[in-house]
Chain A
Amino acid sequence: MILNVKNLHLSYPSESRRTRKRVDVLKGINLELRQSECLGIVGESGSGKSSLARVITRLRKPCSGLVEIEGRQIYPNRELRGTAEHLNCEIGIVFQNYKESVSPRLRVKDIIGESLRILRVQRKQTFDRKKMTIELLEQVGLDSSFLNRYPHEMSGGELQRVCIARSLALKPKILVLDEAVSSLDAVTQTQILKLLMKLKSEYNLSYIFITHDLMTLSYICDRVLFMYKGQFVEDCPVDELSELTHPYARKLLDSILIEGLTD
C-alpha cells in the first residue's frame, strides 16, 4: 500500500463569505492506492475529485481524517515543517489547465529548474542541472531545443509534457493526474496517455487518474473509484466498468459517444 486515506473530511465556507454555511466537499473518503497501480477516479463536476487531489498532495488541509504515504503519516501531523516538505516530494500533481499552471514569465529550463532546486536544497543532492533538465525533457519526449522557450511558444501537448517533467524531477512515487489530458486535442491526448504509461513502468510510479471521461479512464486505469457528492459510491476493477450500478454512473456509461468509431 503506497497511499492510504482514511475517513477524510473536508468542508469550506460557502463561496461568498457572506453566509456562515459550510459546504461539505469530502464526506468520509477511504482510499487505498497499491504500488504501481493506476487508480481512476470518476465523478461529475463538483463531486469533490479535485479537492481530494489537493488534500492528497498537501495543497489543502483536510478537516479530519488520516493520510499516509508508505506508512508515514502526513496528516494529521505535528512534525516540523521541514520534514513535511520532504514528504511533499514523494507525490506530484499535474493539472488540467496547463496554461495556468506555469508562470508565463519563466522559460522551460527555469520551470523545471525550480523543482530541481528543491531537490538540491532539501535532499542535498548534487548534480549537473542542465544535463538533468535535458534528461527530463527527453524522458517526456521533448529535446534540448525547448530549454529556452516560454510557455506561449509551445503547444498544449508540449506544455503538458513540461508539466509532467517538472513533477518527475522530484522523483515522486505517486503522481496525481487531475484531468491532465481532458483539455488536450484528441491526437495529443492519446500521445500523452501513452507517455504516461511508459513513464509509469520506467519510474515505477503509481497514478491517481482523475477524469470525467470514461474512455480515457478505461485506456489507462486498472481500478476505478466512482465519486458522488463527496463520497466514493463504487469501487471496481476497470474491466467491470460496465457493471457500475449507481444511477449517475449508468448515465455516464450511456453517454459515451463511440458511434462510428468501432467497426
Chain B
Amino acid sequence: MRSYVIKRVLGVIPLLIGISFLSFILVNLIPSDPAEVALRVRKTPVITEQIIAEIQTEMGLDKPFLQRYLHWLGRVVRLDFGVSYTNPTLSVAGEIARSLPATVQLGVFSFLLTLVLSMPLGFFCAVFKDSWFDRGIRYFVFTASAMPLYWVGLLLMWFFSVYLDLLPTSGRGGISHLILPAATITLTHISTYIRLIRSSMIENLSRDYILYANARGLRKPVVLVHHAFRNSLHSCITAFGMSIPQLLSGTFIVENIFAWPGIGRLCVTAIFNRDYPVIQAYILLTAVFFVFSNLVTDIIQSLSDPAVRKESL
C-alpha cells in the first residue's frame, strides 16, 4: 500500500513538468512580442525599438527559449510567478495569495453544500425509486443541469436580491454574500451528484449481499445505510474527486457574475488586460490542482477498499 502511494506521488512529477512546460509555451505562442505587450499594458506613450530592447533584457526575453523556461521553472518552484504587467509593483504570487482565500471559501462551501444536499436526495431517490419523490427530483435535476451556470446565477440574483431584496447582489462580506454564489454552483452541479448516488445505490441494492442481508432479517435502515449506502459511496469517491476541479471552474464564472473577489475574477481581469504572467500562473495552478485532487481521490479510494488494503496487512 505504501509503495503504491509513493509510486503514485512520484508519477505526478513528470506530469507537473509537462503542465508547467505547456503553460510556459502558451504565453510564448501569442502572436505579439511580450515586451511590446508589457509596454502597451503599462501605457508607455512612445514605444521605440530601444525601449523594447531594454524591456526584453529586463524580462530576460533575449535569452534562448530553454534557458528562459528553466529560469522561469526555477522561480515557479519557489512560488515566484514574476510581476504583473499592469502594475510592476505587484507580484503575481501576492495577487493570487490575496484572492485565493475567497475562491477557497466559495469552493469549499459549495462543495460541502452539494455533498450535504445530494447524499440524502440521491439516497431517497434510490430507496423510493419511481415514486413521486424520485420523479420530482428527476425533473428538477433535468432542468437544473440543462440551465447554464450564468443564467442560473442571474435568475437567482434577480429573484432574491432584486425582487425580494433579501440578499446582497455582489461582493464578499458575511455569510449572506456567500449564499447566492454558492447556491448557483450547487444548483448546477448537484444534479450530477444526485444521479451518481442514485444509480450507484440502485445498482448496489440489486446485489446478492443486499438480498442476503434481507434474508438474514436485518432491519431495513441497517441494510440501506450500513450496507447499500456505504458501498455506493465507495464507488462514488472517484467521481466526486473528478468533479472537484469542475466545481473550481464553476467558480470562475460565478465569481464574475457576483463580483466575488477570487482567483477567477483576477484571471478574467488579467485576460482583458493581457496580463500574461497572471494568466500563466492561473493556468498552472488550476492544472496542479486538477492533478492533486485526482491523486488524493485515488489514494482515498484505494484506502477505503478492503480488497486493496489487505495487501498492506
Contact = CB atoms under 8 A, between A and B. Distances in A.
A and B touch in the complex (CB under 8 A): yes
Interface in B294-313: 302, 307-308, 311
Contacts of A19: 3-4, 311
Interface in A204-242: none
Q: What is the interface residue range for chain B against chain A? A: under 10
Contacts of B4: 18-19
Contacts of B3: 18-20
Nearest to A16: B308
Nearest to A21: B311
Interface in A154-210: none
Interface in B1-38: 1, 3-4
Q: Which of B302, B307, B311 has the most CB of A within 10 A?
A: B311
Contacts of B307: 16
A19 B3 CA distance: 8
B189 to A, nearest CB: 31
Interface string B270-313: 00000000000000000000000000000000100001100100
Nearest to A19: B311
Interface string A1-45: 000000000000000101110000000000000000000000000
In the complex, which of the residues A16, A18, A19, A20 has the most CB atoms of chain B within 10 Å of its own CB atom?
A: A18
A13 to B, nearest CB: 13
A233 to B, nearest CB: 29
Contacts of A18: 1, 3-4, 302, 308, 311
Contacts of A20: 3
B1 to A, nearest CB: 7
The 9 closest A-B pairs by CB, nearest first: A18-B4, A16-B308, A19-B311, A18-B308, A18-B302, A18-B311, A16-B311, A18-B1, A16-B307
Interface of B: 1, 3-4, 302, 307-308, 311
13 contacts: A16-B307, A16-B308, A16-B311, A18-B1, A18-B3, A18-B4, A18-B302, A18-B308, A18-B311, A19-B3, A19-B4, A19-B311, A20-B3
